[in-house]
Amino acid sequence: MKDMRKVSVTVNGKSYAREVETRLLLSDFIRHELELTGTHVGCEHGVCGACTILLEGRTARSCLMLAVQVDGANITTVEGIAPSEKELHPLQQAFMDNHGLQCGYCTPGMLTTLIEFLQDNPDPTEHEVRVAISGNLCRCTGYQGIVDAALDAAKRLQGGKRA
Amino acid sequence: MANAGIGQAVRRREDFRFLTGTGTYTDDIDRPGQVYAHIVRSPHPHAQIRRIDTAAAERASGVLAVFTHDHLAADGVGGLPCGWLVKGKGDKPMVEPPHPVLATGVVRHIGDPVAIVIAATRVQAADAAELVKIDYQMLPVVTSTAEATRPDAPRLHTDAPRNLCYDWELGDKAAVDAAFARAAHTVTLDLVNNRLVANAMEPRAAIGEYDRATGTHTLYTTSQNPHVIRLLMGAFVLHIPEHKLRVVAPDVGGGFGSKIYHYAEEALVTWAAKKVGRPVKWTADRSESFVSDAQGRDHVTSCALALDKDGKFLALRVKTVANMGGYLSTFAPAIPTYLYATLLAGLYATPAIHCEVQAVFTNTVPVDAYRGAGRPEACYLLERLVEKSARQTGIDRAEIRRRNFIPRAAMPYQTPVALQYDSGDFVANMERALKVVDYAGFAARRADSARRGRLRGIGLSTYIEACGIAPSDVAGSLGARAGLYEVAEIRFHPTGSVTVFTGTHQHGQGHETTFAQLVSEKLGIPIENVEIAHGDTAQIPFGMGTYGSRSIAVGGSAIVKAIDKIVAKGKKIAAHILEVAERDIEFKDGKFQVAGTDKAMSMGEVAFAAYVPHNYPLKELEPGLDETAFYDPKNFTFPNGCHICEVEVDRETGVVDIARFIAIDDFGTVINPMIVEGQVHGGLVQGIGQALVENCVYDGASGQLLTGSYNDYCMPRADDVPSFQVETNESAPCTHNPLGVKGCGEAGTIGAGAAVMNAVVDALATVGVTEIDMPATPHNVWRALKNAKT
């Protein structure tokens, strides 16, 4: 009855192989099959952005994809952003220093979205940051801490490069 | 340590786990052998259930059981209780209709739960739910607040004629009527306070588990107050004694009120786990949240202000109809009464106030407290009315407020609507806000906007809220069916570190950091040595949870009280060891010192002595250093402030842009300014959201929810709002709690709506639009502009 397929995927540098139902959402695959529960599901209709992951380095809404679509792909989730178990990525550190999170539920999607954005636009204006995260809903922060964190992270990431 | 105490912007200790994806929210928990529940909900707003056929669903792949109301009834499961009894005019008790866990013959709103399907996987449960056949006989529908009491409106509950839950009043009607009769000016206003959906980003979830070996039930749930859930569900719904019921609220992804209440799903998974012999998990999807989380606001109000010839307020008259939805949610009756009418004095010395509130049942999702809860509704009407009074009398909007503010010297101030304000400097906050915004320069900014073809407006809003809920005896006399104290246990460990158990619950507020700062400073121990525990009824003494900006004011005060007990015992221990009288011991900076000498013991040494009592006053004193305190507040706290908003309106599109927003807030003493500022930002955007974009809409004819997803219910986004200028004024701390704190969680939401709408009206008034309701969406503004032109 069930339509099953094999999926092999690399997540945060680790390889996984699973046999899954073809209708399984990528978000449910990541959370419940791979047990990487840092990726959150906020709406399951692609609007809130909480489930955003990096697929081959580009953002994707994992609730709008099926697990079978990522066979052979490279994925980064929130668990794979920090350089080590004890250190934070400069963007994560900027979130902590600028109070860019409260309940933490939207945070994984905000981080993945901003990692891609800051690669594409390393020196953004406040308005550009606001537009960049306008597809990610946060109900706690009023966005100001997140915007400040992104601008701060841009400086930290550029730090070495700028005179 | 010098950087970790009260007043420091300590970075949050919660953040590491949330930033690295290692937090534990309810849906992240999987229990061994767990199965999944899917709730079958009514697609109709009002219907008779003629027959439920579960046979096909029961035969479906992976299904363990399908339950309906009959199964619950056979086990004696009770209905969902209401936690507050409001008595209307003539002391008439409110109508309190049954609120079944699963519908009993009639469904009364879209999403009303009818059956529960339990299967091995989540998708199997959802598939089988499609096979549950329910034969509905449609009934006539009423969703509109204003129409609910009309004689021809369909009745929801047999015991509620005209769909009236209560008809309640507060204040002196005769005095108000007399004041209106002699008033030089009368200003009237009709308003709608639009219905909102709380929309915490984490959807609700619950896992029930039953341990046959011990007969203990466990519920993991997305709750703001696990002890309240244990009490209500255990005592009223499932009849499980509290020592056999554990409720755990782990990391919770936002609440804003919507996770206070005891919901049907919590009882269902707890009950079903025993029935099927497996842990049962339910997680809402967003569509389900829109039809099952309690919603907010939804008032229709007529109000009027009487003024003398100098613009002094003489009296305020308010008539409100408040929508309760299809059933009474846990605290619903208290919101449009004791958290609303009691705040109608605002910051003003209005001598006479009368408020009437009719609460009505409609075929809509139940309404309960949503961030601010009654206080935003009170602030909104009052500040819209004050701004209109300024326009009507020709007195400047700031000046008319100045003339009517309660002066600082008048504190404590008894209002005509029951509350006694303890502190606040309302004039100073407004003057500061006017200075920050450069009020005198507004005309030039307006002219500049006009040159760019845009209409600029400015709006003020001042607010006061009653927080720190609440003195239990006062709440009890007003109908609360619970106490509203808070608990704290300070447990020193033998080697000097501390675990603090608090009855409050955090779901974004950063208590683990704020409370640790407080304990570190008061006990003089490193903040790293302090752990804050919350959210598990098996660990924590009975506490009331987090809502109504109460955690620091009530929970923090309980911590201080427990610390005082620790210090008192520590003095006895130190006096014995240092061989001096107890009165000679001073406690300061973490040291028990013999006054006037350098003889001292550290807090850690005293704790060690308490647990290894070799040299210890064993005859007079118990070993150990572990103290519990319950704190019952003496009064409410009264955070207050002034918000100023400037908007620009595009005449062609109706788009409203917020150009500037300033908030000056008095929260009393501030423990962590970074966290407090974040609370204000978030609150402001929820207030702005209500004013500009959010609206929960039911179709009047069909009763269907038209805004049941994020595609239809507009949430405020990062590019809808600016960065805010916010400041706090700590010059008027709370006078009746040990920290001088007032609370900050709801302030932004309370003041923002009126500031934005006053600014919008100010902008539109220049082209002849005099009134507009929330939300001021581009369409609504454009329509108002069109109507004004023709």
Residue type at position B455: L
Residue spans of alpha helices (H) in B630-777:
673-692, 747-765
Report chain A residues whose CB lies below 8 A from the CB of B259. Answer: none
Q: Give the separation between CA B522 and CA A102, rounded to whole angstroms.
A: 25
Asked if A134's CB is within 8 angstroms of B718's CB, the reply is yes
Cβ proximity of B518 and B688 under 8 Å: no
Inform me whether the pLDDT recorded for A162 exceeds 50: no
Size of interface A-B (CB pairs under 8 A): 175
> Residues B26, B27, B32, B37: is their CA dihedral positive or negative?
positive
> Looking at chain B from residue 21 to 50, which residues have their Cβ under 8 Å from any Cβ of chain A?
21-25, 27-28, 30
Tell me the per-residue pLDDT of B740-763, one tens digit each, with 9 for 90 and over: 999 999 999 999 999 999 999 999
Nearest CB to A143 within list B25, B287, B685? B685
**Closest to B719 (Cβ–Cβ): which among A96, A134, A145?**
A134
- Under DSSP, the state recorded for B444 is H
Q: Which residues of A touch B285 (CB under 8 A)?
A: 43-44
Rg of chain B over CA atoms, in angstroms?
27
Contacts of B709 in chain A (CB under 8 A): 43, 45, 47
Tokens of B441: 């320069």
The Cα angle at residue B717 between residues B714 and B723, in degrees rounded to 5: 140
Q: Which residues of B touch A147 (CB under 8 A)?
A: 718, 723
Measured in angstroms, the CA of A30 and the nearest CA of chain B are apart by 12
Angle, helices B511-523 vs B557-578, to 10°: value is 30
Tens-place pLDDT, residues A84-109:
999 999 999 999 999 999 999 999 99
CA A134 to chain B, closest CA, distance in angstroms equals 5
Q: Of A40, A104, A130, which is closest to B719 when you measure between CB atoms?
A: A130
Instruction: Give residues with Cβ within 8 angstroms of B42, minimum separation 6.
Output: B103, B107, B109, B110, B111, B112, B113, B114, B136
Structural domain spans, chain A: 4-80, 90-157
Could you tell me if B678 lies within 8 Å of chain A, comparing CB atoms? yes
Structural contact between residues A118 and A92, judged by C-beta atoms closer than 8 angstroms:
no
For the record, the structure tokens of B296 come out as 């907010």
Report which of B296, B238, B245 is spatially closest to residue B81, judged by C-alpha positions. B238
User: B593: which 2 tokens?
Assistant: 């010192």
How confident is the model at residue B789, as a pLDDT?
66
DSSP one-letter code for B349? -
Q: Whose CA is closest to B504, among B247, B224, B276, B316?
A: B224
Q: What is the pLDDT of residue B1?
A: 44
| Cβ-defined contact of A88 to B19 (cutoff 8 Å) | yes
pLDDT of residue B4: 84
**What is the distance between the alpha carbons of residues B239 and B267, in angstroms, rounded to a whole number?**
11
Eight-state DSSP code of residue B28: G
Cβ pair B104, B69 in contact under 8 A: yes
Nearest Cβ partner for B23 among A23, A104, A134: A104
Please state the φ and ψ torsions of residue B320, each to the nearest 5 degrees.
-130, 140
* CB-CB under 8 Å, A47 with B20: no
Residue type, B645: C
Answer whether B422 touches A (CB < 8 Å): no
Helix (H, G, I), strand (E, B) or coil at B425: coil
Q: Which residues pair with B34 in a beta bridge?
A: none
Option in A23, A95, A104 nearest B251 (CB): A104
Q: B201 and A48 in contact by Cβ < 8 A? A: yes
Length of chain A: 163
* Contact between residue A19 and residue A105 where contact means Cβ atoms under 8 Å apart: no
Q: Is B684 left (phi over 0), alpha (psi -120 to 50) or beta?
A: alpha
Q: The domain B31-139+201-254+259-292: what is its CATH number?
A: 3.90.1170.50
Element (H, E) at B221: strand B216-221
Within 8 A by CB and 6+ apart from B127, the residues are B60, B61, B119
Inform me whether the C-beta atom of residue A42 falls under 8 Å from chain B C-beta atoms.
yes
What's the rounded Cα separation, in Å, for the pair B434 and B407?
A: 18
**Gap between the Cα atoms of B465 and B372, Å rounded:** 8
A4 in reach of chain B (CB within 8 A): no
Low-confidence stretches of chain B (pLDDT < 50) are 1
> How close, in Å, is residue A161 to chain B by CA atoms?
26
- The DSSP call for residue B334 is G
Integer CA distances (angstroms), A14 to A20, A57, A79, in order: 18, 15, 12
Is A64 within 8 Å of chain B by CB? Answer: no
Calculated CA dihedral for residues A109, A114, A116, A120, nearest 10 degrees? 160
Say if the Cβ atoms of A136 and B718 lie within 8 Å.
yes
**Mutate which of A140, A147, A148, A152 to disrupt the B interface (most B C-beta within 10 Å)?**
A140
Q: At A132, which helix (H) or strand (E)?
A: helix A126-132
- B145/B322 Cα distance (integer angstroms): 7
Which residues have a Cβ under 8 Å from the Cβ of A149 and sit 6 or more positions away?
A91, A94, A95, A97, A98, A100
Q: Is A88 an 8 Å CB contact of chain B?
A: yes
Residue of chain B minimizing CA distance to A83: B20
Separation between Cα atoms, residue B488 and residue B555, nearest integer Å? 7
Same fold for the domain at B299-469+635-789 and the one at B485-631? Answer: yes
Residues 6+ positions from B187 with CB-CB distance below 8 Å: B304, B305, B307, B385, B388, B389, B392
Predicted pLDDT of residue B568: 98
Please answer yes or no on whether A105 and B201 come within 8 Å at the CB atom.
yes
B712 close to A (CB below 8 A)? no
Residues of chain A with C-beta less than 8 angstroms from the C-beta of B508: 102-104, 140
d(CA B243, CA B262): 19
Closest Cα in chain B, distance from residue A162 (Å): 27
Torsion of CA B179, B180, B181, B182, to 10 degrees: 60
Residues in chain B: 790
| Interface with chain A: mutation pick from B13, B20, B685, B715, highest number of A CBs within 10 Å | B20
In B, minimum Cα distance to A86 occurs at B16
Fold type of domain A4-80:
Ubiquitin-like (UB roll) (3.10.20)
Measure CB to CB from residue B286 to each of A28, A45, A135 and give the nearest one: A45
Burial of A7 (0-12, 13-18, 19+ CB in 10 A): buried
- Bridge-based pairing of strands B280-283 and B35-41 is parallel
For B253, which of A88, A103, A147 is closest by C-beta distance?
Answer: A103
Q: What is the DSSP letter of B770?
A: -
Q: CA of B251, closest CA in chain A: separation in Å?
A: 8
CB atoms A139 and B199 under 8 Å: yes
Residue type, B533: A
Q: Which residues, numbered 125 to 184 in chain B, qualify as contacts with chain A under a Cβ-Cβ cut-off of 8 Å?
A: none
Contact status, residue B138 vs residue B47, Cβ threshold 8 Å: yes
- The closest CB to that of B681, out of A95, A108, A141, belongs to A141
Taking the domains of chain B in order of start, what are their residue ranges?
Answer: 31-139+201-254+259-292, 299-469+635-789, 485-631
Report d(CA A55, CA A63) in Å as an integer.
13
Q: Which CATH number fits domain A90-157: 1.10.150.120, 1.10.580.10, 3.30.420.280, 1.10.3720.10?
A: 1.10.150.120
Identify the CA nearest to B570 among candidates B610, B630, B617. Answer: B610
CB A134 to CB B17 under 8 A? no
Q: What is the largest CA-CA distance in chain A?
A: 63
Instruction: Tell whether A97 is within 8 A of chain B (Cβ).
Output: yes
To the nearest whole angstrom, how far is the Cα of B609 from the nearest Cα of chain A?
A: 35
Which of B61, B201, B675 lies at the smallest CB-CB distance from A138? Answer: B201
Residue A33 contacts B, CB cutoff 8 Å: no
Measured CA distances, B12 to B527, B685, B776 (Å): 12, 22, 36
Contact B508 A142 (CB under 8 A): no
pLDDT at position B320, please? 98
- Who among A43, A44, A99 is closest to B674 (CB)? A99
Residue B691 near residue B461, CB atoms below 8 Å: no
Nearest to A92 among B19, B122, B123 (CB): B19
Asked if A86 reaches chain B (Cβ–Cβ under 8 Å), the answer is no
| pLDDT computed for residue A163 by the predictor | 37
Is the torsion defined by CA of B2, B7, B13, B16 positive or negative?
A: negative
Identify the architecture of domain B485-631 in CATH: 2-Layer Sandwich (3.30)
Task: Identify each DSSP E strand in B285-423 by its residue range.
Answer: 299-307, 313-325, 352-361, 413-414, 420-421
Q: Which residues of B touch A105 (CB under 8 A)?
A: 25, 200-202, 253-254
Sign of the dihedral defined by the CA atoms of residues B577, B581, B582, B584, in that order: negative
Shortest Cα–Cα distance, A28 to chain B (Å): 10
CATH fold of B299-469+635-789 reads Aldehyde Oxidoreductase; domain 4 (3.30.365)
Sign (positive or negative) of CA dihedral A22, A23, A29, A32: negative
Q: How many helices (H) and strands (E) does chain A have?
A: 5, 5
Neighbours of B764 (CB within 10 A): 25
- Which residues neighbour A156 within 8 Å (Cβ) at sequence distance 6 or greater? A90, A93, A94
Residue B753's alpha-carbon distances to B520, B643, B694, in angstroms, are: 38, 10, 11
Name residues whose C-beta falls within 8 Å of residue B386's C-beta, 6 or more positions apart in sequence: B305, B346, B348, B397, B400, B401, B404
Can you tell me the distance from the alpha carbon of A17 to that of B757, in angstroms, rounded to the nearest whole number? 55
Encode pLDDT of B178-237 as tens digits.
999 999 999 999 999 999 999 999 999 999 999 999 999 999 999 999 999 999 999 999
> Is B527 within 8 Å of B10 (Cβ atoms)?
yes
pLDDT value for B788 = 87
Which residues of chain A does B682 touch, with a Cβ-Cβ cutoff of 8 Å? 102, 139-142
